[in-house]
Chain A
Amino acid sequence: MSSHNVKIGLEVHVQVTSLKTKLFCSCSSDYRGKPPNTNVCPTCLGLPGSLPVLNAEAVKAGLMVALALKCSISDLLIFSRKHYFYPDLVKNYQISQYDGVGGAAIAKNGFITINFNGGPKVVRIRRINVEEDPGKIIYPTGSLLTSKYTLIDYNRSGIALLEIVTEPDLTSPKEARIFVDTLRSMLEHMGLVNTELEGSLRVDANISLAGGSRVEIKNISSSKDVEKALAYEIIRQSKALEHGESIRRETRHWDDVKKVTVPARIKEVEEDYRYFPDPDLPPIKLSATVIEEVKSKIPELPDQRVERFIRTYGLSEYLANVLVARKVLADYFEECVKTCKEPELIGNIIVNDFKRWVEELDLSMNAAINMLPPTDLCRLIHLLNGNVINIKILKGVIPKVLKSGKNVETVIYEDGYADISDESVLMRIVDEVIQENPKAVSDALVNPKAINYLVGQVMKKSRGRANPDLTNKLLIKKLNEIGRASGSAG
């Protein structure tokens, strides 16, 4: 593949999901899950007479990204109108930015350093635009071809987007994927984008092979698919080139169900967007004060965090990088370390087991963390350290938790992985036995010797794995509680 001398450039569109309102009106930026066309107003519907008013927070978000990506920032903030007709675009122009005569991008000429093949690689950023998201096209049958008409939901119309465009510095699909992951982690760390929300990050990829033409692949919605789509294109194009066919300059769509790229409708002419500065939005000076203010609010970024993880927790560079590639994962790691203080072990378990299973089971990171919260992961570590379970069992418990949604104790209890000397696991059995044997409980309350029957029941229920001393202790404790409760009631 690499023999083809591949050049890849990416256009990444991210929604600034941290904003309260849309880019130019006061509608909520939280548009997901609302009935169609209810999160709208005259402005984001482009009704005649309506006007845009800039959300200053969106500009600050753009500036923060620009600073983090080491871009040079424009003196003036200029919005331009980008004209094209399409039903999801309410005004038939998009308020965007234009890096050309009469316009300016909010920032340009930056770079991101990614970690590829064990070494750093610099990917240049051409520019960053602040722009509005269009509405959403819905085909009633699910497919363009079979639908008699199209529905449009404008709830998304006007959501603030950042368009981040790279130079064609990427040379392989893998590298492109790592770039997207690196960028995503930066955006997550800045607290601007919740990338787990559907559609919050979309990528268009430009790819050209030596001897071919530039092909644009639109509509890719994850870094994994960026890699797949580009790999698909390289095979398709190199095959064509080998057969002596020429590669047409074209736009293709990524079909994320079939995992193929398909040609978009062919246009006879090159699109002319007729950019001109939006007269509804006078240029605004981006003052040094505002830029300094934003700069001072940039939180710890991934590269700093990786460094800190290595320094503070003694993690390997590899572990630190993998953890920090997803902010939630790095946060999860730090939460766990706070509770059970075994950074290296925890880091290894999270990266090699937890993360692997999350990906294998195609779960969202947040959902998986909810299933195995830091306290539960620490309980496993605790059991491991107490030699109650071994590392093999621990590794087996994680996928079971993630697949079943049951908690650690239940899995351990049900599967009989351990001699049960963990208090919380045993307590569950004790509770059950007490529930199921009210007669024996009332006997034991008056006759301490009758407790032996209950101990026997616990042993039976745990298939002999319950630690007898602990069982006794827990039963007495429980009975005391019940005795106190009924005493005060009587």
Chain B
Amino acid sequence: MIYLMKLLRNDAVELVKLFQSDPNLIDEYVMETYEVIDEVEDLIKSYITLRPLDDVLRDCREVRERVRKGFKGRLAGLLIAVKDVIVTKNLRTTCASKTLIDFLPPYNATVIDRITAEGGIIVGKTNMDEFAMGSTTENSFFFPTHNPWDLSRVPGGSSGGSATAVSAYEATMALGSDTGGSIRLPAAYTGISGLKPTYGLVSRYGLISYGTSLEQIGPMARNVGDLALLLSVIAGHDPRDSTSLYVDEVDYTRFLRLTPIKNYKIAVIRECIEEGVDKAVLTSLNRSIYLLESEGFEISEVSIPAIKYALPTYYIIAMAEASSNLARYDGVRYGYHVRVEDRLWDEAYSEVRSNGFGIEVKKRILLGTFVLSAGYYDQYYLKASKVRKLLYDEFLKIFNQYDVVLTPTAPSLPPKIGEVITDPMKLYLSDIYVCTANLVGLPAISIPAGIVDDMPVGIQLIGPKLGEGTLINIAYIHEFKTGLKNLTPTVVRPYVQS
């Protein structure tokens, strides 16, 4: 057989089919991927921990043997990158923090078990902002990650390493986590698709907590089909996560059809396009609106006044929960530790936490501690919880009339490395359109909507509770109409073409 292109250029579903017909192709595909990694990883720095090729080949061999014996795993043979916030048994998990510099988890996150049960192979653990706090992947203890479309720009964050690994063909798909846009923002910045599921659809067991009530693990992929496949594998009830929804398993790939499941009504949030949006972003958004309208979908502008409170509300809740979730890093049981003999325990704790956490993490812990303090709880956390409820009610009203909500994913193109790290307000503003979905627990997807000045631009669709199927259906139609699929950054092109 002669292939006209490299194996790794195939969609995931195609690859799995090829591997089923010829299990030996798995090795070839793995070798191809590692060749790309060899070429581009030094430039991009997607991975904190890349598994040695030999280890991956050993897993490969195992999957290959299983396939030969009739194993039909939905991910059998696929290389998947995992954000380093998700614990992997005996594979270092750092959260890009010095506090977890040598943490070898004794257990797997539920999503990892689900992926390996379907024959997926973990390539490595991807870079991120420390404890997922950030929007650029610059807040990593290890190194910043570079956007493959423009190495001087950030890839977005906090799941920046997962986004670049997928975008640069260093993995076929990836897992990210999204507390306030951390999957969708880097997806938009790197020209791929990323989905934050409905809160409770994907198990958080094994996801190192930052903003517990906000975050979900979600899939990132170069096309909507791959995204739907990975989502189908990781979604579902998990008794080990008390916030997990009781839902039946859904095969989201059945939403990959060009005839719309219904005549969709789409709402564009006025407050998200009124001001502060770059022209490049607006142009792409308008083109998408035009394409969707030409498909016969009804598109209207709606107003959600409370959305202006979303960003402060998000930060209050995220920081409050972070201050609590990160209290456990004290150096006693795992991770970075210091000499303790002849010292008081609180002295050792202070040293661990002073040296172990980066500046952004410390800032959020301090702010979170403040908003939970006696006398301030009502003023901040409780009030934020009320705004959250208000926002949810407003979204509920919208979904009584509309099927999805459309917004830009980010107000602007990815900033240059170092550009916003000194300007926290500008940095926090990049989360403005994405964090709302986390506050209301609704599913949201970012998909490519255009390439402006050789930089990708994304749009976001927010769906009703458990409306992932609708999002995937619309995203799939949009992808077909725009042709924005399997986008390949220039820097990677030489290594992925035959």
Contacts and interface: CB of A to CB of B under 8 A. Distances in A.
Contact of A83 (B241, B327, B382): B327
Q: Interface residues of A: mostly helix, strand, loop or mixed?
A: loop
Interface string A361-394: 0000000000000000000000000000000000
Interface in B318-343: 320-321, 323-324, 327-328, 330, 332-334, 340-342
Nearest to A92: B327
Interface in A274-300: 274-276, 279-282
Contacts of A45: 333
Interface in B334-391: 334, 340-342, 345-346, 349, 369, 372-374, 377-378, 381-382, 385
Contacts of A42: 105-107
Interface stretch (A50-58, A196-204, A425-433): A50-58
B243 A280 contact: yes
A51 B381 contact: no
A45 B324 CA distance: 16
B49 interface: no
A52 to B, nearest CB: 7
B229 interface: no
B87 A49 contact: yes
A157 B448 CA distance: 48
B240 A47 contact: no
Contacts of B95: 48
Interface string A72-92: 000000000101011100111
A101 B242 contact: no
Interface stretch (B203-211, B294-302, B475-483): B203-211
B324 A281 contact: no
Q: Interface residues of B: mostly helix, strand, loop or mixed?
A: loop
B333 A53 contact: no
Given A53-B242, A281-B242, A83 B333 contact: no
B212 to A, nearest CB: 4
A51 B204 contact: yes
A81 B212 CA distance: 13
Query: What is the size category of the interface that chain A forms with chain B?
Result: 20 to 34
Nearest to B327: A92
B132 interface: no
Contacts of B307: none
B109 A83 contact: no
B242 A47 contact: no
Given A48-B93, A48-B328, A102-B377, A274 B372 contact: yes
Query: What is the size category of the interface that chain B forms with chain A?
Result: 35 or more
A81 B209 CA distance: 14
A413 interface: no
Contact of B349 (A85, A101, A275): A85
A449 interface: no
A345 interface: no
A46 B327 CA distance: 11
B341 A46 contact: no
A152 B332 contact: yes
A48 B243 contact: no
A148 interface: yes
B86 A49 contact: yes
A42 B109 CA distance: 11
Contact of A48 (B103, B321, B346, B372): B103
A218 to B, nearest CB: 18
A46 B333 contact: yes
B100 A48 contact: yes
A95 to B, nearest CB: 11
Contacts of A152: 332
Contacts of B240: 51, 53
A101 B345 CA distance: 32
Given A53-B240, A101-B377, A276-B372, A81 B324 contact: yes
Contact of B381 (A50, A87, A276): A276
Interface in B211-226: 212-213
Nearest to B342: A148
Given A85-B346, A101-B382, A274-B373, A49 B328 contact: no
Interface in A119-177: 148-150, 152
B305 interface: no
Contacts of B418: none
Contacts of B385: 102
A279 B378 contact: no
A323 to B, nearest CB: 44
Contacts of A150: 345
A48 B327 contact: no
A91 B325 CA distance: 8
Given A83-B324, A282-B243, A148 B208 contact: no
Contact of B327 (A85, A101, A149, A281): A85
Nearest to A42: B107
A48 B208 contact: yes
B239 interface: yes
A417 interface: no
Interface in B82-134: 86-87, 93, 95, 100, 103, 105-107, 109
A80 to B, nearest CB: 10
B206 A276 contact: no
B213 A49 contact: no
A93 interface: yes
Contacts of B243: 279-280, 282
A53 B237 CA distance: 14
A264 to B, nearest CB: 14
B115 to A, nearest CB: 15
Contacts of B205: 49-51
Contact of B239 (A53, A91, A281): A53
Contacts of B204: 51
Contacts of A87: 330, 332, 345
A4 B69 CA distance: 84
Contacts of A90: 328, 333
A148 B374 contact: no
Instruction: Identify the interface centre among B208, B320, B345: most chain A CB within 10 Å of its CB.
Output: B345
A85 B331 CA distance: 12
B328 A92 contact: yes
A207 B271 CA distance: 59
A469 interface: no
A49 B208 contact: yes
Interface string B394-415: 0000000000000000000000
A272 interface: yes
A78 to B, nearest CB: 13
B423 to A, nearest CB: 30
A426 B434 CA distance: 91
B453 to A, nearest CB: 40
Contacts of B342: 148-149
A92 B333 CA distance: 12
A276 B109 contact: no
A21 to B, nearest CB: 14
Contacts of A272: 373-374
A356 B427 CA distance: 74
Nearest to B213: A279
A49 B213 CA distance: 14
B122 to A, nearest CB: 15
Instruction: Identify the interface centre among A54, A81, A92: most chain B CB within 10 Å of its CB.
Output: A92
A325 B213 CA distance: 47
Contacts of B100: 48
A71 B483 CA distance: 65
Nearest to B203: A51
Contacts of A93: 324, 327
A272 B372 CA distance: 9
A92 B240 CA distance: 21
Sort A-B residue pairs by CB-CB distance and give the 4 closest, nearest first.
Answer: A92-B327, A279-B213, A279-B212, A274-B372
Given A87-B345, A149-B341, 17 more contacts: A46-B333, A47-B107, A48-B87, A48-B93, A48-B208, A49-B109, A49-B206, A51-B204, A53-B241, A87-B330, A87-B332, A92-B328, A101-B377, A274-B324, A274-B377, A275-B377, A279-B212
5 contacts: A42-B107, A48-B103, A49-B205, A102-B382, A276-B381
